[in-house]
Amino acid sequence: MQPRREPSRAGRPRDTQIDAAVLDATLAVLDESGYAGLRMEEVARRAGTTKPAVYRRWPTRQHLALDALARRLGEVVVPDTGCTMCDLGESLSLFLAAFRCLPPDVLGPLLADCAARDELRERFMATLFDPPRAAVGRTLATARDRGDLRDDADLELTLDLLGSLVHYRVLFGHAPVSDGEIERAVETLLQGVAADYPRLLAHARGETGTVPHHQRHG
């Protein structure tokens, strides 16, 4: 009896160089023309490939745009210096920076184009909103674990309140978000959820002579 052969895979291996060229070309088109100007044929021309080759990899321009933007965003890494006010301000700045690196006239139209299909909407959220949101969430969780936030603080609500400042202004583009506004937003929220707000403020300002919260109840 002849040994059974494993079936061979049809087709050629995927060319990662074409993938990278297409994603780079997509970002170039988005930078120049916004999402409304994104055309598969133009992307293919700039990438030095064919439109069918692009469609074999990305079934819709929504999928293509999301993968290209994910390539630009990269990984969001938040600081952990032990200063809750400093780390939260820096985390929110990273949150904002993640959206500032997106081309203009892309985020809102892309969201609208993805909203009608659950799979695309979920992919949009997982690609563009969840990573920076999760990064800020880790900062809040770390602050609570070291006793800087009240035990009953609602971290999900706090996270949404912080993120809404960025989401609202990025999506509608009616006003910029300055570093000063980020600082005021962090201070305002911490006044409500901090276990000892004056101590956190003093720590952030580098003042000495403050007693760590966990030592006050030892």
In the chain, domain spans: 16-71, 74-216
Q: Tell me which fold the domain 16-71 belongs to.
A: Arc Repressor Mutant, subunit A (1.10.10)
HSE-up (13 A, CA, CB side) for residue 212: 9
Taking the model in full, what pTM does it have? 0.76
The answer to whether residues 54 and 21 touch, using CB atoms and an 8 Å cutoff, is: no
For domain 74-216, say whether CATH 1.10.357.10 is its number.
Answer: yes
Nearest partner of 127 among 142, 106, 153, judged by Cα: 106
- Written as tens digits, the pLDDT of the chain (218 aa) is 444 444 444 445 567 899 999 999 999 999 999 999 999 999 999 999 999 999 999 999 999 999 999 998 887 788 888 899 999 888 888 778 777 788 778 988 999 999 999 999 999 999 988 888 888 899 999 999 999 999 999 999 988 888 887 777 777 766 677 778 888 888 888 888 999 989 998 988 886 444 344 434 33
From residue 127, how far is each of 71, 153, 185, 208 by CA, in Å? 10, 28, 25, 42
Nearest partner of 195 among 215, 218, 213, 217, judged by Cα: 213
Cα(36)–Cα(65) distance, rounded to whole angstroms?
A: 11
